[in-house]
Amino acid sequence: MGEREPRRCHRMVPERSLMVFSGRGNPELSARVAEKLGIELGRVDIKTFADGEIYVKYGESIRGADVFIIQPTCRPVNENLVELLIMIQAARLASAHRVTAVVPWMGYSRQDKKSCPREPITARLVADVIQAAGADRVITMDLHAGQLQGFFSVPVDHMTALSMIADYYKMKGLEDMVVVSPDAGGMKTAKRMADHLNCPVAVLSKLRPEHNVSRVMYVIGEVEGKTAIIIDDIFDTAGTLVNGVQAIMNKGAKAVYAACSHPVLSDPAYERIAESPIKEVVVTDTVPLREGVNRDKIVVLSTAGILADTIRNVFADESVSELFQGENQLF
């Protein structure tokens, strides 16, 4: 018998490890996600130098790992965005197997088209730089518009808090509900919410003369004697919200509630909400609420379970849409 021919290769299939790291944008949410996953957050040292530059160093080996970086680009938007980019690049240079940017709130997402000449499409720019930094995949929640997914050439897993918010209102047991969209563009989301609650839909007609300024013109739909729920993806200065609440109350609604996924809540939003006749504002924790402000009317639901389930399925190469029965495509 002749000698056995030596093998020309050795097939090795190392086990991948799941590692989750947090930026400084929303460490409380990151900690809750890690708890849901049954792991500890990975060690990472993040500093800001005296001149404002950001430094990142992972405190443990991430070679060959599936790395998930949780960092919403909330206030301060530009600092958190650059911090996310640096964390992605640092993970890539440290030989991570795959780097997934988990961005619950995607800053600049409202600048998704040219509304007038000589404007940028900043949402596309942000998508480009996240990919240029080295992200292999993006997980985000309740994007402002469907076309944002098309700005990426890497896979984008789009989550939604709509079912969680609907379940909250079911639990409250409100009667004679009507879901109100703040504009025509939000009608599809409002209709999905109304289907969950088995109630009708109305819509506000508004005029927006400039950024962060709106004027509600009139209410389309029947709200008299009903409990209205305004549903939106973002509450920023809350101008549209409080104007809409007043318009709905003027039409004879007995109470008005509101809900959104992303409580950006720039000044003077907290004051407007506190002084308005609105009963309650339901938000999620994709964006942390500010300290030292009046939050009596604000209820926070956690997205940690949704994000943890998504991360688990992405890591295991299992379906993400099955988590939502396909209802995560709202557009």
Angle in degrees, CA 314, 188, 270, rounded to 5: 85
Question: SS3 for 31?
Answer: helix
State how far the Cα of 214 lies from the Cα of 66, in Å rounded to an integer. 44
Q: Which pairing describes strands 156-159 and 137-141: parallel, antiparallel, or unpaired?
A: parallel
Buried b (16+ CB within 10 A) or exposed e, 140-161: bbbbbbeebbebbeeebbbbbb
Q: Active-site residue among 113, 206, 226, 279?
A: 206
Residue 267: CB partners within 8 Å, gap ≥ 6? 237
Q: Which of 3, 43, 55, 77 is nearest to 262 (CA)?
A: 77
Q: Which of 205, 206, 251 is nearest to 228 (CA)?
A: 251
Residue 170 annotated as catalytic: no
Q: Which of 220, 158, 224, 225 is nearest to 190 (CA)?
A: 220
Buried b (16+ CB within 10 A) or exposed e, 275-290: ebebbbbbbbbbbbee
Q: Which of 280, 217, 281, 283 is nearest to 247 (CA)?
A: 217
**Catalytic residue annotation:** 206
